Amino acid sequence: MIKLYDNPFSPFARKVRIVLGFKGLTYESIDALALDELEGLSGVNTRAEVPVLVDDSITVVNPADIAAYLEQRYPTPAVYPANPADRVDARAWERLADSLFDAIIHDISLWVWPTHHREDAPPAELLEAGQRDLAKIVDRMEEALDGKDFLCGELSIADFAVFPHASSLRPLGFLPGADTHPHVNAWSKRVRKLPVVAHDLDYVKTAAQEKFGDAPSPYEGEKVIWRGDRLEWLFCNGLHDWWHEELRAGRAEVPPSI
């Protein structure tokens, strides 16, 4: 039995769940970011990050490595294109989703997390940089989708990696319009109708209702873990002083190096 150290809301975990579902694989899910599960998560990943996949005696960390492992171990149906050029393109989209797209969404969304009820406002320059760079990504998607149903032509890891981040755009107030980005809007609707994606969207909605209802949140509510890509994007936009204030205030942590 495959075991997935999971979290309903992590875009990386969502990507892996979608791949698992697409391949028809059954698995045990553990909400490993819940405070009472963190010790177990640290036992399989010292950085205490999700997702982690355990398949018999094999433990795989990092969402891209998990997707690659699942493709090799369970090759049908494939999520990586067979054509070398398309595979390179799909991996580039996956890398963009896992690095820059995630970093922007994470960094500008802290003020809307249901676990962290902040009383301050986000720095204006942070939101401006986020809007600017998100626009660049969405424009790139629009260009790639011209004449295509999916980012690389056929449904692939590119769509499964990008969609969890793209689905956060509307809640954050970034609305690619049907007039300016018709291909992105059509792609989003098309992906949402895929049974495996629709199932994951329902899972996220149900989890939000269950975990953020009347009972206390099961997650850390003060500190935010900052890893490399999220810090890199923040710093390249001049937010050094703001982040160091977060660190001094005890609201920021970095994961252990090993």
Residue 258: pLDDT over 80:
no
Residue 31: pLDDT over 90:
yes
Q: List, in sequence order, every residue forming a beta bridge with 6; answer none if it has no partner.
A: 31
Give pLDDT, residue 175. Answer: 83
Interval 82-133: pLDDT, tens:
999 999 999 999 999 999 999 999 999 999 999 999 999 999 999 999 999 9
Q: What are phi and psi of 3, to 5 degrees?
A: -115, 130
Which pLDDT band holds residue 214 (cuts at 50, 70, 90)?
A: confident
Residues with Cβ within 8 Å of 137's Cβ and at least 6 positions away in sequence, in order, are: 96, 100, 101, 104
Residue 193: pLDDT over 80:
yes
Give pLDDT, residue 138. Answer: 98
Interval 34-75: pLDDT, tens:
999 999 999 999 999 999 999 999 999 999 999 999 999 999
- In the chain the domains, ranked by start, together with CATH numbers, are 2-73 (3.40.30.10), 84-211 (1.20.1050.10)
Report the pLDDT averaged over residues 183-200.
Answer: 98
Strands 58-61 and 27-31: unpaired
With beta carbons less than 8 A apart as the criterion, state whether 66 and 3 touch.
no
Q: Of the candidates 61, 141, 154, 66, which has an alpha carbon nearest to the alpha carbon of residue 96?
A: 141
253 in helix, strand or coil? strand
Task: Calculate ∠ Cα 171-173-178, nearest 5°.
Answer: 100
Percentage of the chain surpassing pLDDT 90? 95
- What is the pTM for the complete model shown? 0.97
In angstroms, the first-to-last Cα distance of the chain is: 28
Cα distance between residue 169 and residue 171, in whole Å: 6
Q: DSSP secondary structure string, 37-62?
A: GHHHHHHH-TT--S-EEEETTEEEES
Residue 257: pLDDT over 90:
no
Task: Tell me the Ramachandran region of residue 123: left when phi exceeds 0, alpha when psi lies from -120 to 50, beta otherwise.
Answer: beta
With beta carbons less than 8 A apart as the criterion, state whether 232 and 240 touch.
no
Residue the block writes with tokens 């990943």: 45
**Which two structure tokens, joined as six digits, stand for 90?**
């799909």
CA 31 to mean position of chain CA atoms: 15
Q: In one letter, which amino acid is 206? A: T
Interval 129-180: pLDDT, tens:
999 999 999 999 999 999 999 999 999 999 999 999 999 999 898 989 899 9
Residue 218: pLDDT over 90:
yes
As a 3-state breakdown, the chain gives helix, strand, coil percent values, each rounded to 5, of 55, 10, 35
Angstrom CA distances, 231 to 31, 153, 252, stand at 25, 33, 11
Give pLDDT, residue 256. Answer: 87
Residue the block writes with tokens 């149900």: 206
pLDDT top residue among 7 and 213: 7
Buried b (16+ CB within 10 A) or exposed e, 100-112: bbbbbbbbbebee
